[in-house]
Structure 1
């Protein structure tokens, strides 16, 4: 029974009980009126993101949201990023998560000096709630020969186990901090953007003290906003 039919059933049941008490019947014209005023809702595939419609959703979302520049603000300064149009699913995904303010509940949770800083997750309840809401979906790879792990490259994190297609995590990302790059990760993770301003902030964050799990001793919160 769909939502519409459930609604009609409960409403008619309520009317029947009322009419039983009053020893009346439900008028036919009232039933017809309810039918006409309760249209069946039809959702297009890209109207509601879930793990089954990822490509359809982000292809359509990307057409409607063409922004390519974002800024990550932290207590240590700002980092401006340019997202690539030739990695359209990853670009659209990052814009989508920015606009719903997902990243604002997350932190840079891994800092590996002379390698990468990694963010997009936290133990915040809202972070967990948002990930669950959209079904912890994955993004298909968008490897490009001209998009490599150079200094300042923005790339998607991913699971290495049970992930033969190297699908990306949509929520977690990292920025290459090593000035020589991290080219051993080429064709292992999708590079979908680059730092265009704020390299000093990137290097400053990389200097923070961390524990044995590379989690910084003090959380590095972020706010991400669209620039253009």
Structure 2
């Protein structure tokens, strides 16, 4: 009888250990069953949907100001943009306290809008004007980005000195001289074209490559001040 009790006492811990192991294995199995598998294809679909939503976003008269107000909050100070043209490259530095025009120029640059556009208006000893083209791809880019204008911001003390980059106003239904966001002009007059002050918004200045700007200003032009040989902006890029 004593031997039976001893044997039973020895077997009991083994039964407990085996039972615990089985319970542990069961819990482990249940945990695996309840674990959510990460579906990589679902992530890819979500990313594609987000990208498509961003691509479908269009600026308009109702949302442009709010959009650029928030967009400029994320921008660094003293942003520089390099424009590589078919006649050389030059760099402009954007003013920080002209937020909507600065944000607009950076946004269009990052969207690739200016790439393969042209300096479509060249007035000797006055300005070169860019951001348009006789290529339908530029019109298609405009349609994709949206139709909007920007309010003038002429009270920050900037003048149209030589090398100033400024924004022309739209010619269509525009009694308040709202700026045409897709184009810009650069003053080449020495020392400047100050009769433009108060009507147009300077938003930066050329800091490198003014000789290239002068070279563009010296090309032969035809009717409407359009160069006989197209002068392309091959690439515009924000310098990090």
Q: TM-score range by the shorter chain?
A: 0.7 to 0.9
Alignment of 1:198-213 (within 5 A): 198-213=209-224
Decide whether the 8 Å contact of 1:72 with 1:79 is kept in 2.
yes
Note if 1:178 corresponds to 2:189.
yes
Which of 109, 116, 121 pairs up with 1:105? 116
CA RMSD, 1 decimal: 1.9
Cross-structure match for 1:226: 238
- Flag structure 1 segments of 5+ consecutive residues without an equivalent: 1-40
TM-score normalised by structure 2 residue count: 0.72
Cross-structure match for 1:58: 68
Which of 136, 148, 152 pairs up with 1:141? 152
Cα distance between partner residues in 2 of 1:152 and 1:189: 15
Note if 1:191 corresponds to 2:191.
no
Decide whether the 8 Å contact of 2:58 with 2:144 is kept in 1.
no
Decide whether the 8 Å contact of 1:116 with 1:177 is kept in 2.
yes
Structure 1 residues 126 and 161 mapped into 2: Cα distance closer, same or farther (>3 Å)?
closer
Look up the SS of the partner of 1:114 in the other structure: coil
Cα distance between partner residues in 2 of 1:81 and 1:109: 19
Q: CA deviation at 1:181?
A: 0.8
Q: Which runs of structure 1 show a deviation greater than 3 angstroms over 4 or more consecutive aligned residues?
A: none
Decide whether the 8 Å contact of 1:141 with 1:168 is kept in 2.
yes
Cα distance between partner residues in 1 of 2:136 and 2:219: 25
Structure with larger Rg: 2
Cα distance between partner residues in 2 of 1:162 and 1:125: 23
Note if 1:79 corresponds to 2:90.
yes
Cross-structure match for 1:157: 168
Equivalent pairs counted in the alignment come to 185
TM-score normalised by structure 1 residue count: 0.76
Decide whether the 8 Å contact of 1:51 with 1:134 is kept in 2.
no
**Higher-helix-fraction structure:** 2
Look up the SS of the partner of 1:168 in the other structure: coil
Q: CA deviation at 1:160?
A: 4.4
Q: Which stretch shows the higher mean deviation, 185-194 or 49-58?
A: 49-58
Decide whether the 8 Å contact of 2:128 with 2:186 is kept in 1.
yes
